[in-house]
Amino acid sequence: MIAKEIITDIIVPLKTSDKGIDALALMEEYKVSHLPIVNNVDFLGLISEFDIYNLNRPEANLGDHKLSLSRAFVMQYQHVYDVIRLIGEQKLTLLPVLDEKNKYLGSITLNNLVEQFSKITSIENPGGIIVLEVSQNDYVLSEIAKIIESNDAKIISLFLTSHPDSTKLEVSMKVNKIEIGPILQTLNRYDYIIKASYSEDQQLLDDLQNRYDSLMNYLNIGGE
């Protein structure tokens, strides 16, 4: 999944002729704290709610101010993981997407990024979750996958977590089987350290879905 595939069509970018107070009104409407400034299709930069509040004359056109704009953006072909990383690193609520000529194509909001993340993590698919702890030198994905598949199951999502002060990796994976007891037994036989496991019965699936729906409702408060 790449950036251009998750652009939202609800965000209208600002122009230098827009007033600061109008920009704040749009941020309130879109439930974001950042908006891109675009002249025709040329991306000028990203302005924040904080930037506008610091303007001496928010009723004046944005172009009348000396703006220190963030140049945070992704190219249209970059992976969604790059989007997640940049939004997290710079604490953004919105990220512009540009083409190869640095022309503005649209934006990705935190809201629609959460929607896409639910697809990446297979949250809507029933199955079990297994968390392993392995040494970085011993981590071999093909070996783990072979063990899973020997129990007539498949890995449908997987994430690695590393810590700077450790040589250990945490391998969190979701498999397409709810009954994961036999998989855990096989992993134990191969001396894998199982930090946690969760077997998703229907009640747990409903709870996860309800939590996801609650998060989406929270992000959409006042959006209608």
**Cα gap 111→9, rounded to integer Å:** 12
pLDDT digits (tens, 9 = 90+) for 63-81: 888 777 888 999 999 988 8
Residue 37 confidence (pLDDT)? 93
How does the average pLDDT of the chain come out, rounded?
85
- Longest Cα separation, the chain: 70
Q: What is the pLDDT confidence band of residue 207, given thresholds at 50, 70 and 90?
A: low
pTM: 0.65
**Cα gap 70→46, rounded to integer Å:** 5
Residue 23 confidence (pLDDT)? 92
Domain boundaries 128-201, CATH class: alpha beta
Q: Is 95 within 8 Å of 107 (Cβ atoms)? A: yes
**Cα gap 43→76, rounded to integer Å:** 14
CATH superfamily of the domain spanning 3-118: CBS-domain (3.10.580.10)
- Parse the chain into domains and list their residue ranges: 3-118, 128-201
**Cα gap 177→203, rounded to integer Å:** 15
**Cα gap 74→209, rounded to integer Å:** 30
Mean pLDDT of 99-119: 84
- Residue 29's CB is within 10 A of a number of other CB atoms, namely 12
Q: What is the pLDDT confidence band of residue 140, given thresholds at 50, 70 and 90?
A: very high
